Amino acid sequence: MTSFKKLLPDLLISLALIAAVIFYATRYVDFTIPPFEDAAMLMRYAQHFADGHGIVWNIGEHPVDGATDFLFMAASATLIKLGLTVGQAVRGIGFASHLLTVLLVYWTNRRIHKANIPFSALSGLYLVVGTGLSYVSAYFGTPFFALAAASTWTLGLVLIQKENPRFGLILAFALSGLITGLIRPEGVILASLMLLAIIVMRGLKNSVSIIVTFGVVFLLLGGAYFMWRWNYFGYPLPNPFYKKGGSGLHWDSYNASLLNLLRLCFPIAITFILGFRSRETTKQTIAYLIPILGFAAAFVLISDEMNYGARFQYALVPIALMSWTPLVRGLSFSKQDQLSGREGGVYFIALTVLSVSLIYYSWYQNCFLTSYQQTCARPYERDGRYDMGKLLAEYRGKGYMIATTEAGLLPYYSGWDAIDTWGLNDQFIAHNGGLTTEYLDQYKPEIIMFHDYFSPLVPPKLTEANLAQRWFSMTITMKDYAEANGYVLAAVFGDSPYDTHYYYVRTDFPDSKRLIQQISTMKKYYWPTTGKKSINYAEFQEP
C-alpha cells in the first residue's frame, strides 16, 4: 500500500500527459491533410509488401530498398495485413510511438535520474507539443524511430548507473540498439555513439562485457540481416544512400543538421552549458553530448533533401530531454526555507512563466516544418499531385507507367507503375549517375511528368552551368525525350511561370486522347506551396 502511494503522483502525472497528448492531437494537429509527398513513397512500399509482392517499387519488378525506414515499413505492412488501411497503420504506429516516448521521457527522469515531478513533467510536456505529432499527421514514421532511440538511451542510462549490470540488461541494450538500426540505417550510428557514451562514463575496463555483447549482437544478428538485405536487394546499402550520399561530404547538410538540433533543443542546450560548471558534472555532460552532437554531425554523409521539419534530427529531442536533469542537480540560487512569502510567490510565478515559455517554444517549432509554410496550424496546403493521382487511379491495372520526378503522391494514389527519375526508388538511376534517354526508351512511359523552374512563358536556359546541375539536366532529358517522341504537352501547371509541373502524354495508347483531355482541362490543380489553383501555362505555348 505504501509503495502504491509513492507511485500515485507519478501515475497521475502519466495520465495527465496521456490526456495532454490526446487533447493536443485533437485540438491543434490537422489530421485531414493528405500524406506529405515524401511520406507517400514508404506507403507504396508498405502496401505492396502487405499484398504479398515483396519490397518492390513496381509490382513484378526486382526488389528495391527505397523505403529506408525498413522496420517501420514492415510494421505498417503487418497492420495493413490485419485489416487496417495504409493511412491508419502508418499514423497509428506514429501516434502510439509518440505517446510512449512522452511517458518514457517522464519515467526516465523520475526513476533513473531521480528528478523531481515538475522537471520530469515539463520534459514530457515539451515533447507533447513538439513536432512529433506533426510528423504523424504527415504520415512519417519519425516518432517510431524516436521511440526506439529513446528506449536504447534509457537502457544505456541504466547501464551507466549499474556497477555490475545483469547480462539481461546488457543484452536488452544491444538488441534495442539493433532495432533502432533496423528502423533507419543511421540508427546504427546513434546506437554506437550511445555505447561510446557508456564507455566514457563507466571506463573501458568496466565496459568490456557491454562492448562484447553489443558487438556480438550486431555482428551476428545485424550481420545476418545485412547479408539478407544485400542478397535480397542486390546492394548492401539502402538505395537512397547511393543518390544522397555521393559526391563526397555534404557540409551544407552538416550545417543544417546542427542548426536543426539547436533549434529543436535550444532551451535544453542551456542546461548542457551549465553542466560544465564543475569537474563532477563535466564528464557526464561530455558523455551525454556524444550521441547528440555525434549523430547530428553524421548527416555530413548525405544530402539534406527530404528532411521535412528536421525529422532526421528529431530523435535527439527525447534523448536530450532524458539527459538534462542530472546536469542541473545541485544548483541552488536561494534556499526555499529562507525565502519570504513574497519572494516565494515571485519565484513561483517566474518559474511558471518560464515553463509556459518553454512549452510555447516547443510548440512554435511546428511553424517551421516546411520553408513555404503559411500558418502554424497547417504545414502544407492542398496539393495538385494528390488530385492528379486520384484522377489517374481510374486507369489503374492497365499496365500504364508514369516517369516522374514527383515519386510520392502521384505513384501512390494512381497505382501506376512508375519510374522515379531522380533515382531514390530506382536502382539503375541511383547507381548509374542519373536518368538517360535510353532508360526512358526502354519503358516508353505513357506519361512523363516533372517539376522544374521554367515554362512556355519562361523557356529553360540551356547554359553549361545550368546543365551541370543534376536536377535541371534530368528534367531537360525528360523534356527532350518527350518532344522527340511525339508526346503531347497536356499541361504545365504552376503558381508562376518560374515554378511548374509539366505533364506530357504519349499519343499511341488506347486512353491517350481521354487522358490528354482530362489533364489539360483540370481546373483544380492546387499548387502545393500556396494552396492556390494553378495556371496551365501549356495554353500559352507557341503552336
In this prediction, residue 248 carries a pLDDT of 79
List, for residues 128-173, the tens digit of each pLDDT value: 999 999 999 999 999 999 999 999 999 999 999 999 999 999 999 9
Q: How confident is the model at residue 232 (pLDDT cuts 50, 70, 90)?
A: very high
Q: Are residues 201 and 172 in the same domain?
A: yes
Asked if 250 and 258 count as a contact pair (C-beta separation under 8 A), the reply is no
349 in any annotated domain: yes
In this prediction, residue 332 carries a pLDDT of 55
Grid cell for residue 261 = 538540433
Q: Which of 12-16, 200-204, 265-269, 331-335 shows the lowest mean pLDDT across its residues? A: 331-335
CA distances from 330 to 162, 333, 471, 534 (A): 22, 10, 55, 60
The C-alpha atoms of residue 65 and residue 234 are separated, in whole angstroms, by 10
Q: Are residues 415 and 320 in the same domain?
A: no
379 in any annotated domain: no
Last residue of one domain, picked from the residues 325, 342, 368: 368
Q: How confident is the model at residue 350 (pLDDT cuts 50, 70, 90)?
A: confident
111 in any annotated domain: yes
523 in any annotated domain: yes
**Region 429-433 average pLDDT:** 90
Asked if 210 and 159 count as a contact pair (C-beta separation under 8 A), the reply is yes
Q: For residue 238, give the 3-state DSSP assignment.
A: coil
**Region 307-336 average pLDDT:** 87
Asked if residue 543 has pLDDT above 70, the reply is no
Q: Which of 1-10, 253-262, 471-480 shows the lowest mean pLDDT across its residues? A: 1-10
374 in any annotated domain: no
Q: Are residues 315 and 454 in the same domain?
A: no
Q: Are residues 153 and 93 in the same domain?
A: yes
Residue-averaged pLDDT of the chain:
94
Q: For residue 164, give the 3-state DSSP assignment.
A: coil
Kindly state the percentage of the chain with pLDDT values over 90: 85
In this prediction, residue 247 carries a pLDDT of 67
Q: Which of 56-60, 278-282, 490-494, 507-511 shows the lowest mean pLDDT across its residues? A: 278-282
Grid cell for residue 279 = 569537474
User: Which amino acid belongs to residue 208?
Assistant: V
**Region 57-66 average pLDDT:** 94
Range of the domain at 16: 2-368
In this prediction, residue 338 carries a pLDDT of 63
Q: Which of 246, 312, 74 is nearest to 65 (CA)?
A: 74
In this prediction, residue 336 carries a pLDDT of 53
377 in any annotated domain: no
**Region 450-469 average pLDDT:** 95
211 in any annotated domain: yes
Of residues 372 and 196, which shows the higher confidence score? Answer: 196
The C-alpha atoms of residue 436 and residue 419 are separated, in whole angstroms, by 12
Q: How confident is the model at residue 243 (pLDDT cuts 50, 70, 90)?
A: confident
Last residue of one domain, picked from the residues 368, 396, 430: 368
CB-based contacts of 48-56 (< 8 A; 24+ apart in sequence): 49/73, 49/74, 49/77, 50/76, 50/77, 50/78, 50/80, 50/81, 50/86, 55/232, 55/233
**Region 198-216 average pLDDT:** 97
In this prediction, residue 340 carries a pLDDT of 66
Residue given cell 555490475 in the structure block: 164
Grid cell for residue 314 = 528529431
List, for residues 406-426, the tens digit of each pLDDT value: 999 999 999 999 999 999 999
Asked if residue 334 has pLDDT above 50, the reply is no
**Region 120-133 average pLDDT:** 97
In this prediction, residue 280 carries a pLDDT of 82
**Region 290-297 average pLDDT:** 98
The C-alpha atoms of residue 76 and residue 61 are separated, in whole angstroms, by 21
13 in any annotated domain: yes
Query: What are the two backbone dihedrals, phi and then psi, of residue 449, each rounded to the nearest 5 degrees?
Result: -130, 135
The C-alpha atoms of residue 254 and residue 428 are separated, in whole angstroms, by 28
Last residue of one domain, picked from the residues 310, 341, 368: 368
Q: Are residues 341 and 443 in the same domain?
A: no
Grid cell for residue 363 = 510548440
Asked if residue 66 has pLDDT above 70, the reply is yes
Q: Are residues 331 and 443 in the same domain?
A: no
Q: Are residues 363 and 391 in the same domain?
A: no
Q: Are residues 489 and 460 in the same domain?
A: yes
List, for residues 77-98, the tens digit of each pLDDT value: 999 999 999 999 999 999 999 9
Q: Are residues 143 and 256 in the same domain?
A: yes
**Region 506-525 average pLDDT:** 96
Q: Are residues 347 and 390 in the same domain?
A: no
In this prediction, residue 337 carries a pLDDT of 56
Asked if residue 455 has pLDDT above 60, the reply is yes
Q: Are residues 276 and 408 in the same domain?
A: no
**Region 258-265 average pLDDT:** 96
Q: Are residues 449 and 422 in the same domain?
A: yes
Q: How many domains does the chain have?
A: 2
Q: Which of 88-92, 328-332, 346-350 has the highest mean pLDDT?
A: 88-92
